[in-house]
Amino acid sequence: MPTADPAPTAVPSDPAPSLDPAVAARLRRDDAGLVAAVVQQHDTREVLMVGWMDDEALRRTLTSGRVTFWSRSRQEYWRKGDTSGHAQHVKHVALDCDGDALLVQVDQVGVACHTGTRTCFEAGGTLPAVVGSRPAAEPTPSDPTPSDRDPAGATR
């Protein structure tokens, strides 16, 4: 006669995964623990929007293939496209030299802005600005000069 399987034993669950400590150590967060995330279409380099990420939003972005943000107004995580269908599929993520901004390159499905425009910068409109130009005789520096460095030694 077959014997019954023993009762399953409770297995302690692993703690929730966290952001890779090596990545977390490089982030320079604002007072709310957030880093700006500039979202760019991967093939055209079109800047689509700016969102905010904390460590958990970045971990989810790096491990899920979809961009996750922290909503400062709703105080919750959200993924672009979960309700609209206008998803952002991750292609590449980079941290800037200061560690205080991310560049998230995506394949954007549909529009990126909640106003219905392709980018959030269309909806905001352009601002009047004086357009600068380099004088024709001005050389292009090959190496940064000492005045191009901040006190910590980083090139500007």
Q: What is the pLDDT of residue 5?
A: 46
Going from the N-terminus, what domains does the chain have, and what CATH number goes with each?
A: 21-125 (3.10.20.810)
> Can you tell me which residue has the tokens 């910068």?
121
97-135 pLDDT, tens digit per residue, is 888 889 999 999 999 999 999 999 987 888 888 889 888
Q: What is the pLDDT of residue 152?
A: 62
Please tell me the pTM assigned to this model: 0.73
Contact between 53 and 69 (Cβ < 8 Å): yes
For 122, the enclosing helix (H) or strand (E) is: helix 120-124
Burial class (CB in 10 A: 0-12, 13-18, 19+), 53: buried
- Return the closest-CA partner of residue 63 out of 101, 15, 17: 17
Report the alpha-carbon angle 104-66-51, nearest 5. 45
5-29 pLDDT, tens digit per residue, is 444 444 445 455 787 788 878 888 8
- Return the closest-CA partner of residue 37 out of 55, 23, 49, 25: 49
- Return the closest-CA partner of residue 58 out of 118, 100, 14: 100
| Higher pLDDT among residues 133 and 44, named by residue | 44
Task: Report whether pLDDT(2) > 50.
Answer: no
